[in-house]
Structure 1
Amino acid sequence: MNARVVTPTGKGFVFLDAHPGGCEATVERMWRDVPATQVPAARRPTALIVGCSAGYGLAATIAGLARHGIRGVGVCLEKPPTSRRTGSAGWYRIATTAKLAGDDFVFVNGDAFSDQTKDQVAKLLAERFGPVDHLIYSVAAPRRTDPDTGQTYASVLKPLGAAHTTKTLVFDDGNPVVKTVTTEPATEQETAQTVAVMGGADWRRWIRHLSAADLLADGVTTVALSYIGSPLTSGIYRAGTIGAAKADLEATARELHTQLAGRGGRAVTSVNGAAVTQSSTAIPGIALYVGMLRAVLGEAMVSPTAQLVQLWDQLVGAAELATDDAGRVRLDTWELEPAVQAAVGERWRDATSDTIADLADLDWFAGEVRRLYGFDVPDVDYSLPVETDISWPATP
């Protein structure tokens, strides 16, 4: 047992510890926010969610469980608690999600890129659940080791072709500061490595692995979660190295769709809207943009959970699975409305350290960052000691 008072210590958007009680309350609140389905599925779908502990992957897991009673396996890589530090926020979020899910959804803590993890998941599916009806792929990682070659690739956040200058938001000793940063262009090698990490290679490998084990159901649908974003951030994102990886992800979707069509299956990417995640806060300009987007939209900003409810309804047939001309499900239309982007663009042009408090919802943004680690969650008493030594959920 290791009960102690956990405080938010760290720098910028990164905290050293996570609060177990706050993470638990966050998951419970997300679960409550999922509306009951009016069109229940004919049977409980079997699902595999790769990258299930944070951001849109967590939202996919909770929305699928709470709305459609999915059964199956979730995969993520999280740090356990130690005598010196708490576990990662995802460690505690999964502990709570497992309690809410019950015995018919199990969680594997392992490197999603490794064949060892794929073997472990395939064994669980074969023994407990059978072939998967839906595979959702939501992995954001700084590096990936290729199981075939042993080579480790590292991803970078850089523009392509030329240097890119953008405004960005930082919190200097707690005070919001708008800075201008210039990022040098990526080399061909850096671009290729980013695509190797964040593109479709591992998604393709998961499908191949499950197909070889006869664990893809007839009519299987697989979705990789993606993002396009605003023209304001495109220089460092969609037109940068990450954008090259997203383009590879979309090309992989077309390739997998061709492979799965013979068994009545389908592969698509889902383009989601902006959100505060541990991955997005590392991208120059994204924090500034999301804070302004929230100021423009207020409560009309669509949460990741609400977006994934829409996706699950399409996957199980409660709504039509609609795609754009590029074969992508679009859950980001609320963000890219011309009037919304025009309003954000005006604020972007006027943004300085002196004006930012009036142009962006900084309190909301800072709170969202802290809530990623279980802090600033309503109805949690942070003055009380909390048990940090929480076990990973056992597989029944």
Structure 2
Amino acid sequence: MSKRVIAPRNRGFLFLDSHPEGCRRLVEGMWRSAAELPGADLPAAAPAESGPVALVIGSSAGYGLAATVAGLARVGIRGIGLCLEKAPTERRTGTAGWYRTAATAELAREAGRDMVWLNANAFSDEAKDQVADVLRERFGGRLDYLIYSVAAPRRVDPDTGAAYASVLKPIGAPHRTKTLVFDAEGVPDVREVETGPATDDDIEQTVNVMGGADWERWIDRLAGDGLLADGFTTAALTYIGSPLTAAIYRNGTIGAAKAHLEATARTLDDRLGKLVGGRAVTSVNAAAVTQSSTAIPGIALYTGLLRGALGERLVPPVAQLAELWDQLTGARPLETDASGRVRLDLWELSDEVQSEVADRWAAAENGTITELADLGWFRAEIQRLYGFAAPDVDYDRPVETDVPWPGGA
């Protein structure tokens, strides 16, 4: 037993510890939201042997977590959740994703969903071996859906051993943008930062980490082992974003990687159609506060202003992924744009919303930011990534931090 009081200690947007009970409460809230959205008519407890078999790669955080929870609560998926998280130690709590996975596993078990949780590096062939073994031994050797949601700073190519590191840089010229930071007392500071342009090597390395290479390796491996069911469908999660952040995001190194991901989707879609009558798409999600997005210059400011403009009309990730599951499973038609992308971001990129956010962006400075952006919501969202600011949690009480990884593998 290792109960202790866990206080939020952070360096900027990065917190040093995570709160197990807070993570559990937040996952429970996501589950309820997914189950209560219009169109969800799944029984409260489905038999473990029913439901489509799904693999969610990147199941513990951000949109991958939303895909996992929405799939379990709304569709009744069974299958595998794969992520890479750190266990609790004597000095540190486990990562938030460790505790979120434990909470998701408990909810899945209570609802009768048969899920296996693997803690492994998705880029490695060892992880692919584990998944293939579980599919054969536990789920009849057939996979219906694969959701790919991986945001990582580095990747080692299993074929060559080459190590790649992603960077956040504009392409072609330096870029100066507004960004938002908070000091140690939580006081917001709107400042300008300049980022130098990417080199050709920067672009190549980022594409090798965040592009479609690993997604394609997963499909190659599972198809080669005969594990794809007829009609198998796969979706990789991506983001386009606002013109306000395009220079550092969509037109930058990360955007080059996303373009590669989308090109990979078109290639896979053609192959899967011929192989199993299947589909491959990218799902363009809308803005959200995630551990990955807060590292990108300008994104924190943009997201706070977007919430200031929309308030409760901002669509949370679990609602977006519930819509994706509805389309993937045929509950509603699967609609894609000319590039083969499911667009879950159109509400964010409407002319009306972007015009309002652009006006707020132009006026944003230290004297006006509290009126233009919903900073209370934004800071709470950052805290919730680590299990803090959750409802009905007494953060002054000791909590058990030594939570085991879910069994069942």
Q: Does 1:206 align with 2:213?
A: no
How is 1:198-277 mapped onto 2 (pairs within 5 angstroms)? 198-262=210-274, 263-277=276-290
Letter in 2 for 1:166: T
Letter in 2 for 1:54: A
On the 8 A contact 2:42/2:76 being kept in 1, the answer is no
Instruction: Select 2:165's aligned residue among 154, 158, 178.
Output: 154
Structure 1's consecutive aligned runs of 4 or more residues displaced over 6 angstroms after TM superposition are none
Q: CA deviation at 1:39?
A: 5.8
Aligned mates of 2:150, 2:400 — CA distance in 1: 29
Q: Does 1:366 align with 2:373?
A: no
Residue aligning to 1:106: 116
Residue aligning to 1:301: 314
Instruction: Select 1:340's aligned residue among 337, 353, 365.
Output: 353
Question: SS of the counterpart of 1:207?
Answer: helix
Question: SS of the counterpart of 1:136?
Answer: strand
How is 1:70-81 mapped onto 2 (pairs within 5 angstroms)? 70-81=77-88
How is 1:6-21 mapped onto 2 (pairs within 5 angstroms)? 6-21=6-21
TM-score, normalised on structure 1? 0.98
Aligned mates of 2:398, 2:358 — CA distance in 1: 45
Segments of 5+ residues of structure 1 without an aligned counterpart are none
Instruction: Select 2:104's aligned residue among 87, 91, 97.
Output: 97
Segments of 5+ residues of structure 2 without an aligned counterpart are none
Question: SS of the counterpart of 1:35?
Answer: helix
On the 8 A contact 2:40/2:74 being kept in 1, the answer is no
Aligned mates of 1:40, 1:28 — CA distance in 2: 17
RMSD: 1.2
Q: CA deviation at 1:353?
A: 1.2
Identity of aligned residues (%): 65
How is 1:32-111 mapped onto 2 (pairs within 5 angstroms)? 32-35=32-35, 37-38=39-40, 44-102=51-109, 104-111=114-121
Instruction: Select 2:137's aligned residue among 127, 138, 146.
Output: 127
On the 8 A contact 2:41/2:74 being kept in 1, the answer is no
- What are the Cα deviations for residues 100-129 of structure 1, in whole angstroms up to 9, with x where unaligned? 112611110000000001100110011011
On the 8 A contact 1:39/1:318 being kept in 2, the answer is no
TM-score, normalised on structure 2? 0.95
Q: CA deviation at 1:40?
A: 5.5
